[in-house]
Homo-oligomer: A and B are copies of this chain.
Amino acid sequence: MDFIWKSDQFRIDPARPLYEQFVEQLRAMIVRGVLAPGVRMPSVREMAATIRVNPTTVMKTYQELERDRLLVTFRGQGTYVTTDTEAIWESKRTIVREAVKHLREIAESLDLTVDQLLELALEKEE
């Protein structure tokens, strides 16, 4: 069962690099299992046409995800979501680790612990 790609699949912030946002969103879809292991990705040209973007942008996206071992390309056969579940887990751990590292850096820059920062944010919302 194939995944259906639509032109409004991605949320875009014009201020940030497109390929970077596609990487993040595709990566999340793979980690979440929305894009299951072994699923065939649209070709660069197809994808570019579908989401109305420059093919080089899609290519850069795919290459980045290949470097992460989340996508694999078989020459002449197309690009597939990896079936290496360990790679997927590792990617998830990396995302989580980076996110928390980032939060901790901000907390430290304000002389707060992560817990104090989270508390402060909750107060605000009440």
Q: Are B106 and A121 in contact (CB under 8 A)?
A: no
Number of copies: 4
Q: How far is the CA of A75 from the CA of B100 in the complex (A)?
A: 27
Closest beta carbon of chain B to A22's beta carbon, Å: 13
* A39 within 8 A of partner (CB): no
Q: Write out the residue numbers on chain B whose beta carbons fall within 8 Å of the beta carbon of A121.
A: 96-97, 99-100
Q: Place the interface of chain A in its size category.
A: 20 to 34
Contact B75 A96 (CB under 8 A): no
Listed by A's residue number, 29 A-B pairs whose Cβ atoms lie within 8 Å are A14-B72, A14-B73, A14-B75, A15-B73, A15-B75, A18-B75, A28-B109, A28-B110, A32-B110, A92-B110, A93-B120, A93-B124, A95-B106, A95-B110, A96-B106, A96-B110, A96-B117, A96-B121, A97-B121, A97-B124, A99-B102, A99-B107, A100-B103, A100-B117, A100-B118, A100-B121, A102-B102, A103-B103, A114-B118
